Structures are given as structure tokens and as C-alpha cells.
Structure 1
Amino acid sequence: MARASSNKPPEAPPDPMPARIEPCVATLVDKPPKGRDWAFEVKWDGYRLTVHVGPGRVRVITRGGYDWTDRFAPIAAEARQLGHETMILDGEAVVLDGQGRSDFGLLQRALGRKPSLHDPREILFFAFDLLYLDGRDLRRLPLADRRRLLEPIVAGRDGVIRLSEEVEADGDEFFRIACEHGLEGIVAKRRDKPYHSGRRPDWLKIKCVRRDSFVIVGYEPSTVPGAIGRLLLAARQGEGLAYVGGCGTGWTYHESVKLRELLDEIRTDRPAVALRRKGAVFVRPVLVAEAEYRAWTQDGKLRHPSFKGIRERADDAGVFELQR
């Protein structure tokens, strides 16, 4: 007797699980995009990671391809409890400050080898994409579908693995609010696009910048003859000044030469701040630089400052003051 044929189609073989996926990287733009095709999220200030869950093994891989499973052990341990045998999560490891904002300086301390006030278990992983699940490579799916699969896995969790929430809002309004709350910025992603490794226009980042005035206390010469390598900047602190880091971008070569000529006229052997730096040239603290920057490091230095202009230090009203 002939065996009855089954109308059930054969199951597709599982997709091989990638050992590493180079992450999709957002392109920096000046303002948020318009349209319903875009989803918005907070821009986290931390380490980009992928969490690879396999049979009997979890690996935490950095953006550069390094295995940092041991350094993010609580994240790896919790990933085993998410209920799936195979899975790759894409997201960011962060430490939050007292206002719930990601702080890269706190993250560095928590990961540091020296004793820290911050426990490594304070490091959270905010998952914002799902690249592989239960034998299926999801990168060919549009973002909206990947998020629909991701959210039931991590949404509502209060452990170290959490969901990076999408925000239903106008991009301009969301960006304004993010900057008002001291966040690093926002990310915009096309809902209808698959996942592509590398820097892509499908993902955009819009950064909040801060702009303040700092006293110029010296400079480091450039390797280019006659130019400046970095301005040495200080903020007001009490009755004196405190060094807040160096600024090495924001000018043309011609502007740099002119700036060095100006500073060489006010050189001094008595630095206005307690700073020892080989090769530094110190100047009298009579000029103020305008600088844009992203944030402050944990040790009180400017992150990614860029020079925007110079003026005389007529008074200290406009000079940034550090709170004790």
C-alpha cells in the first residue's frame, strides 16, 4: 500500500550562527529626520556590544571584535535566562548616573582594574536590536519586524538586560527634550530597512552639544612648525582656576598660527593652574576660549571639545564655574 504523501512543506535548514557581526553604525547628522518611517531612541553613552547566546555558551563581543565576556559577566549570566537557545542581541552597555543618564566615566570606573565606588553589577545592557534567534538570521528583516521579536524577550525586565525603548515623538521635539535633560543625543533608525554592518544612512545620530567659555592657561605646540597642537583650558573654581583639559580641534592652520603668535606675547613662567605637562607653554590667564563639547569625564575634563572663538577676559561672569 502506498504511503500517503504529506502536504506539509519541509522545514528550512537553520541559518548558521555568525561568530561575529560587525555592527551597524549610525551616521552623524545635524538634525533629526522627518517622516513616519523613522523610529527614535535615546543615544546611549557606553560600550557597543553584541551578546551571542549559543548552546551552553554565551559570549559578549565588543564593537572591535574582542571577547569581553569576563568583564561583562552579569550580562552574560542573565542572557542565559532569556529563554532561547540561540540568539544575538545588539545593544549598549552603560552605567546610569543619579538622574538616570548614561555616563561613560562611570562605566570606565566600573570596568577599571583599580578599586571603584561602582560595582560591575551596576553595568546595564540596553538591547536595541535582535540579529539572530533560534536558528534564524534576522538581519534580512526590516527593523520593525526585528523589534517585534526583540520586545517580548527583554521588555519589562528590571535586571541588567533591558530594552532600549523606541519613542513615539516628533524628532525635533524629542531631540530638544533630550538635550534639555543632559542626554548625549538621540538616534533615528529606518523602520523598513534590514540590518547592514558598517556606517549606514539607515541609522542616524544627532548629538547634543554644550558650549561654554574657558580661560586659556597655555598650549602645547603642534608638530607642524608655528602652529598649536592643543589649547590648555581652565574653569573657575572658588577663588582660582582648575584645569579642565586640552582642546585640539576647531581651527584652520592659518588660525592656529595666528593664535600661537597671540599667546606667545603673554607667555609666563608661573602657570595659573597646578599642571605639569612636558613641552607645554604657559600663558597669563587673560584670554577666554569659547568651546563646544559633548560632556564631562568622571575626572572633570571636557569630552571632545572644539574651539569656537576667543575673546579677552574682561571679567569672569561668562567663564564656566565648577561646582565644588
Structure 2
Amino acid sequence: MAKSPPSKPLLADEKPLRSRPRKPRDSLQPRLPLDPMPARIEPCLALLKPRPPIGPDWLYEIKWDGYRIAVHLNNGNVRILTRGGHDWTHRFPAIEADAKRLGVGSAILDGEAVVLDEQGRPNFAQLQQSLGGRGGKLNSGASIMFAFDLLYFDGHDIRSLELTARRYFLQSLLKNEHGAVRLSEEIEGDGREIYAAACEHGLKGIIAKYKDSPYRSGRLGEWVKVKCVQSDSFMIVGYEPSSVARGGIGSLLLATRKGNDWVYVGSVGTGFNERSAEDLRRKLDRLTRKTPPVKYAGRRKNLVWVQPTLVAEIEYRAWTHDGKLRQASYNGLREVQDNAAVYQLDSPPSNGSPA
């Protein structure tokens, strides 16, 4: 659990941290050294590694499987921004309502919006369904936020503080919260054992964070993600029709980006349900084209090619020697607003691992 840093013994353990909304400043009073509240902060991103870093300088959390969001709270007004900077406040009504109840004047919380399955595990497909699928307009009342960082608090930009200090304030702020805004708990122990336990319980992986690091936007290595099952975003470039499969889709044809070109990386024929397959088929049939957008040397006939527009989240075990996905499973479409980057192929995959 987060501990009070020696330099910040400001909070009592028995009560959650609270502040009152700020009133307009009295012009007769001296100006206080307050920091302007940022309209948006580019998120800190985790660097993918095959093994977790170990040692006392690292803390660990569950890797949540959802949409990265930032909750901006300012004098009772709430904005919920996606990773791409789009305002989705109206799409997460429960998170918005619980954020207003935190009782803090101003704050920016960094976290992940998820939907939990019956076993209490985050389920990306259920999150998408609750939002109406890619391009859907539904509001997801089932979504909750797991907050893992606090970037701005009560008029002060605290990104320069070390992670342990930021988490100390965050933990106090969310101490009694069990609703739609919850604390992403840190896990103490050996990173290798925590990773093994996460995989054993069917979770997506873990995140390791350097304890003394400030909050810096971008993918700089101070946060590290280790996945139990590989999961990346790939472009859908076509599909194989089927008269017996759900939605008439036998399999999706996938591609990755290499330079300015699309490269075919195989197909996926599992992970669909009736509803998702039918919805996907309708979207694909509006994007058909006569020529393939990739070089295709396969033997299958009667393939339907589409404009490279829809981005699919795909789980897979490894890469084959000829650069194709192995044991792939469809996990849903990514939203444009989520700013999910399509997998980049710098060189052909080898030895069962992505480049």
C-alpha cells in the first residue's frame, strides 16, 4: 500500500483528504501561488517488456483492460477525456457522478475506464458493448474508473512530485470510495511472482512503475507493462465470407503498418459473438473495395477487401516464422477517440516474437 513520503507528513490516516471548491479570489487579498489547471495532459504510457523489473524501487499494479481516461474536476464541474483528448463525459455517467462526490475543489485523476465481468476481471468486449460498439452512442452506466495517478490537486500541479507522494494523496482522496471511481491498488512483493499470479487468475498482465519518478508524458520507460497474453491493435483489411459462421464472417484479414505500407499478418476467426459479428459485417460492407490494400499471397478465394479504416484489438500467443499471428482471437474494435496506435512492424518477426 502507498506510504506517506518522509517529506510529506501532511495527512492523517484516519480521514480521507478533502478540500472545498474555491470561491472567486478577493482582489484585496494577496495572490496565492496557484498553478493554472491544464486543459489536457498527454498521458504517461507504459513501455512493453517481456519480464517485469524487480527490486525495492518498483511498485506494481494490475494492467486494466479498458479505455484510458483523465477525469478533470473543477469546482463541481467534471470533464472526462479519452487518451486522444475527446470529451466523453456524457458516456460515463456513473464515473461523472462519483467524481462530483469526491468533495475536492480541483483535481485531475489519471486512470482506466473498465467493465468487470462476473469474476471481477476487466473485460474489454463488455466495455465496448456497453458503449454500443465502435462508433456507438450509448452511455455506459456499467463502467467504473480505476484511478492510478493524481496529476493536479487543489490548485497545484503535482506532476513533479515522486510517484509515491502522488499516490499518497490519491489514496487518501479515494480511501472510502467503492463506487464508480476506485483506487487502483498497488501490490507489494516480487514482480515475477506478482506477474505469475496475475496470469494464473486470467488477468491481462501487470504494470511496474518506478517509485521516485515524476509524471512525464510519453513512453519513457519509467512505467513498464508485462502482458500475460499479447494484445495489440491491427487494421482490418478484409474478411472471408461464410454461410455458416456468425454474421457471415468466417475470418477477418489483418494488417500492420510498416513504413507507409500495410503488411498482411494473418487472419482471426474466433472471439466473435452473434451481436458483434453482425454489427461488424454491416460496418465492413460499407467499406468494400475491389483491390486488396495489402500484398496477399494466400490461396483463399472469394475474399472481400475493405478500406483500412477499422482497428481491431487482437489477442495472440506469438508470431509464426513467416510473420503471421499465432492463435489469434478477436477482442473488439478500438475507438478513434481512444487513439489506439496500430501495431508497427519495424522488421519481420522472428523466433515467435514480434519485432
TM class by shorter chain equals 0.5 to 0.7
1:131–1:294 CA distance, 2 compared to 1 (3 A): farther
Residue in structure 2 matching 1:183, options 203, 214, 217: 203
CA-atom RMSD in angstroms: 4.0
Shift of 1:97: 1.1
For 1:277, give the aligned amino acid: V
Q: 2:123 aligns with which of 103, 107, 111?
A: 103
Query: Deviation of residue 232 (structure 1)?
Result: 3.3
In the other structure, the counterpart of 1:31 is 51
Give the aligned residue type for 1:22.
E
- Are 1:55 and 2:81 counterparts? no
Contact kept, 8 Å, 2:107 with 2:154, in 1: the verdict is: yes
Select the residue among 214, 222, 227 that pairs with 1:207: 227
1:81 and 1:186 map into 2 onto residues whose CA distance is: 29
- The whole-number CA distance in structure 2 between the counterparts of 1:171 and 1:54 is 37
Deviations 1:144-164 (A, max 9, x none): 000110001113422101010
Which residue number in structure 1 is paired with residue 164 of structure 2? 144
Q: Structure 1 residues 141, 277: CA separation in 2 closer, same or farther (over 3 Å shift)?
A: same
TM-score, normalisation: structure 1: 0.67
Alignment match, 1:277 = 304
Question: Aligned ranges for residues 158-237 of structure 1 at < 5 Å?
Answer: 158-209=178-229, 229-234=264-269
1:78 to 2:98 alignment: yes
Q: Say if 1:186 and 1:207, in contact at 8 Å, map to a contact too.
A: yes
Q: Which amino acid aligns with 1:50?
A: A
Q: 1:133 to 1:104 in 2, by over 3 A?
A: same
Describe the SS at the equivalent of 1:132.
Answer: strand
- The alpha-carbon deviation at position 77 of structure 1 amounts to 1.5
Q: Verify the 8 A CA contact 2:198 2:205 in the aligned structure 1.
A: yes
**Which residue in the other structure is 1:249 paired with?**
none
Say whether the 8 Å CA contact 1:209–1:293 is kept in structure 2.
no
- Structure 1 gaps of 5+ residues are 1-9, 236-241, 246-255, 270-275, 280-288, 311-324
> Which runs of structure 2 are paired with 1:292-303 in the superposition (5 Å)?
292=326, 296-297=330-331
How many angstroms apart in 1 are the aligned matches of 2:58 and 2:220? 14
Distance 1:16 1:268, change over 3 A: closer
Cα pair distance change 1:63/1:12, threshold 3 Å: same
Question: Structure 1 or 2: larger strand share?
Answer: 1
Structure 1 residues 16 and 171, CA gap change in structure 2 (3 angstroms): same
Give 3-state SS (helix, strand or coil) of 1:175's partner.
helix
Q: 1:199 to 1:268 in 2, by over 3 A?
A: closer
Q: Is the 8 A contact 1:28 1:206 kept in 2?
A: yes
Indicate the residue corresponding to 1:88 in structure 2. 108
Superposition TM-score, scaled by structure 2 size = 0.61
Say which one has the larger Rg.
1
Q: Give runs of ≥4 in structure 1 deviating > 4 Å.
A: 216-224, 289-296, 306-310
Residue 88 of structure 1, CA deviation: 0.6
Selected match of 2:36 from 3, 12, 16: 16
Q: Give how far 1:121 is off.
A: 1.8
1:28 positional shift: 0.8
Q: How many residue pairs are counted as aligned between the two chains?
A: 253
Residues 52-85 of structure 1: CA deviation (Å, up to 9, x unaligned):
0002411111111111111112211111110111
CA distance in 1, matches of 2:177, 2:50: 33
Distance in 1 of aligned mates of 2:251 and 2:332 = 23
Aligned to 2:149: 129
Gaps of 5+ in 2: 1-29, 232-239, 241-249, 271-276, 281-293, 307-319, 334-342
